[in-house]
Structure 1
Amino acid sequence: MAKVVLVLYPDPVNGFPEFPKDYARDSLPELPDYPNGQTLPNPKGIDFTPGALLGSVTGELGLRKYLEDNGHELVVTSDKDGENSVFERELVDADVIISQPFWPAYLTPERLAKSKNLKIAVTAGIGSDHVDLDTANELGITVAEVTYSNSLSVAEHTVMQVLVLVRDFVPQHQIAVDGGWNIADAVERSYDLEGMDVGVFAAGRIGRAVMERLAPFGVHLHYTDRFRLPAEYEEKYNLVFHENIEDLVKNIDVLTVHAPLTDETSGLLDEQLLSTMRRGSYIVNPARGAIADRDAIVRALESGQLAGYAGDVWAPQPAPVDHPWRTMPHNAMTTHTSGTSLSAQAKYAAGTREILECFFEGREIRPEYLIVQGGNYAGTGAHSYAEKK
């Protein structure tokens, strides 16, 4: 029997919804596969209704029946921070730890050292930087995530936030809510996206999906990545490649950020880099909050160097009530919801079940789900996190 610790965000304030009565829709569209041909998660079975809320504590990612029917213990909590948290108490004898990037259970070197039984840490979603990957390698702990499960969800959210910033939607909507009709005030910071230079930092699954969705808006697309895209792809979308982000940001009006958080990217969007951007540029960062220097972003908005900043990632998470990004001017922040739509939850819950089935049955976990295995970066981890050779 294994002990599985599952860390999820708290239930809705008004109570856990009954499906389908309390939901906006009765079902989800059926999808054949991902756009690149990768198959959707394919567990042997699921014990949830796609479209239901699975990512909060009561939803349990639909895992309880499967785990208990197979003799495993499941502990579910949202209490994850501090020495007296439920997570801190339960991790010491956990065999499996699962959390989501939206409500990450931080597995620091100290916590990993306490987790004597831990064999696998699973991210229900994409992005495993809440796990200290070097320590996981040293201890031989497998780290896996449900790659691609919510990539398109994040890409859609990114496009939405680009438009929200450039069109200055937030104050326009507030005028309507407040009963006003102040058209001049509503449009004094509103522009068309058409014709702007849009740059993508990191052209992985999310970055490419953003470019593909923005191309019909008539923008000029630029990107930088550790690995240059094929020439035919660049030609199809008329992409301009830049060797590094320093060159990229000098030539664009809008920057979207999709890189993982590493030593190389931490604090990268600092005062010096922001000062080289065109005055009145916009940044949308759905990747990781710590890629941006918190206070440098605030100052750039206050000075007018940036015209707007959006994203739904913060450092730390959850962000404190007094985090300056909540109240800085011209922001359109959200609370790390881009990748946890009900549609995405159905995919990453099924993918988590698939990973667990493979783990418990001694079958290989598919390479695209692997970040660390056997003391080395593996699969997606070897591409996204390991140092470029």
Structure 2
Amino acid sequence: MEEEKTWALVSEIGGNYGYLEELVDILKQHFQLIYYKEFLQNPALHGPKIHVLFMWKYFPEAKPSLLRSLPSLKVVVSGGVGIDHLDVPFINGLGVKVANTPGVVSNSTADLAMGLLLASARKILEGHQIAVDPKTFHIPQSLMGVEVTGSTLGIIGMGEIGYKIAQRSKGFEMKILYHNRTRRSVDDETAVGASYCQSLDDLLRRSDFVVIVVKLTSDTAGLIGHRELSLMKPTATLVNVSRGQVVDQDALVQALQSGGICAAALDVTHPEPLPRDHPLLGLPNVLITPHTGINTYGTARGIVEKMLENALAAVNGLPLPNEVKLQRHNEC
């Protein structure tokens, strides 16, 4: 007789917050899954059975009311790196562990950061629209972009993702500056040709492209505001692949409208999606993608496999490979 599997709460298959079906199959090999809508039909019946909460795209939300209805819960496993959506001390206070999935998302996020930078600099989206427009019979010569090769890139937050962005930028012969709370080793800097800027202001003044790759904490919320944007070159582009709250969006709109900076390329905003009448959506020098930094099939599979690894460790009483105990105010 097959041993009964441990119960785990998940969001759904498909939909706005759901897994691809082939990813759910990975979890089903080890856990008895209950979907959130099914759970809500009878929380009192299902709650005591659940030992694992798998969060995908921040859902199901780890609200106190939900957590208190899961008396047997051992671990909350969140897909992705960011933990700003989790009250880790509160969850730990319930005797429940927390894990995320670092490392596996780094390549895809770094790839998208470079994609946004290149697409914005070379006006790829505008060029596509002209090329497919049925009214286009002549190619305009006015679609001029910004040179990427040999330009200066400033990376705010040189953790794993930031470092991978630096590795990619080296191939474009970019001069790489970075600002971090902790300076990286000389070997790390030499490998990518990066120079440390102790002052964020110095990085902003010198960079042609500024890429933000920090975790969202109380220290980094609103990190880039009116003052910081005013320090940037009027020819500079801001790229954000961290969290929307790191940038003061009203200040960004003003800088883009006034010519304070040249352009912005954003994979993150606040909220997501933006209200349909938000001024950022109507600016010609803004490129926005809908938080797709980790959206590749390989990365999604890797996230689920790492979620599974942490969950199995928790239910078997083993150390979690990626346990998050307290949110630390360090940049990525």
TM-score bracket relative to the smaller structure:
0.7 to 0.9
- Stretches (4+) displaced over 6 A: 89-92
**Is 1:221 equivalent to 2:221 in the alignment?**
no
The one-character-per-residue Cα deviations of 1:195-238 (angstroms, maximum 9, x if unpaired) are 21101111111000000001121111000112211112212322
Aligned to 2:131, which of 176, 190, 201?
A: 176
1-structure distance, mates of 2:195, 2:324 = 30
CA contact (8 A) 1:311 1:334 kept: yes
Q: What is the SS of the residue equivalent to 2:142?
A: helix
| Alignment-mate amino acid for residue 9 of structure 2 | V
Deviations 1:142-178 (A, max 9, x none): 1111111111000011111111111122211111121
Question: Is the contact made by 2:234 and 2:259 (CA closer than 8 Å) also made in structure 1?
Answer: yes
Identity score, percent: 24
SS at match of 2:262: strand
2:10 equivalent among 6, 14, 33: 6
- Do the aligned residues in 1 keep the contact of 2:215 with 2:330 (CA within 8 Å)? no
Task: Please show how residues 8-47 of structure 1 align to structure 2 within 5 Å.
Answer: 10-11=14-15
Describe the superposition over 1:77-135 as per-residue Cα deviations: whole angstroms up to 9, x where unpaired.
Answer: 6x9xxxxx969x799765422223x4554435666566655432111222221112332
> Which residue identity is paired with 2:280?
W
Q: Please give the residue correspondences for 1:1-389 in structure 2 after superposition, counting only pairs within 5 Å.
A: 3-7=7-11, 10-11=14-15, 56=19, 58-59=21-22, 61-68=24-31, 72-76=32-36, 94-100=50-56, 102-107=57-62, 117-179=72-134, 180=136, 181-187=138-144, 190-366=145-321, 369-372=322-325, 377=326, 385-386=328-329
Deviation at residue 7 of structure 1 after TM alignment: 2.8
Q: Is the 8 A contact 1:225 1:244 kept in 2?
A: no
> 1:165 & 1:251 partners in 2: Cα distance?
19
> 1:211, 1:221 within 8 Å by CA — same for their partners in 2?
yes
Query: Contact 2:175–2:194 (CA<8 Å) still a contact in 1?
Result: yes
Conservation of the 8 A alpha-carbon contact between 2:23 and 2:301: no
Which secondary structure does the structure 1 equivalent of 2:242 belong to?
A: coil
- For normalisation by structure 2, the TM-score amounts to 0.85
Q: Is the 8 A contact 2:74 2:314 kept in 1?
A: no
Q: When the two structures are aligned, how many residues end up with a matched partner?
A: 323
Question: Is the contact made by 1:104 and 1:317 (CA closer than 8 Å) also made in structure 2?
Answer: no
Cα root mean square deviation, aligned:
3.0
Secondary structure at the aligned position of 1:243 is classed as: coil
Distance in 1 between the 2:63 and 2:273 partners? 17
1: CA distance, partners of 2:227 / 2:95: 39
For the 8 Å contact 1:150–1:340, the answer to whether it is kept is no
1:55–1:61 contact (8 Å) kept in structure 2: no
Q: Give the direction of change, closer, same or farther, for the CA distance of 1:60–1:200 in structure 2 (3 Å limit).
A: same
Deviation sequence 1:42-90 (CA, Å, 0-9, x none): xxxxxxxxxxxx963645533452245xxx342256x9xxxxx969x79
CA distance in 2, matches of 1:302, 1:353: 46
Q: Quick check: 1:6–1:60 contact (8 Å CA) kept in 2?
A: no
**Structure 2: runs of 5+ lacking an equivalent:** none
What is the CA–CA distance in structure 1 between the aligned matches of 2:112 and 2:100, rounded to whole Å? 20
Aligned mates of 1:360, 1:256 — CA distance in 2: 39
Gaps of 5+ in 1: 13-53, 80-84
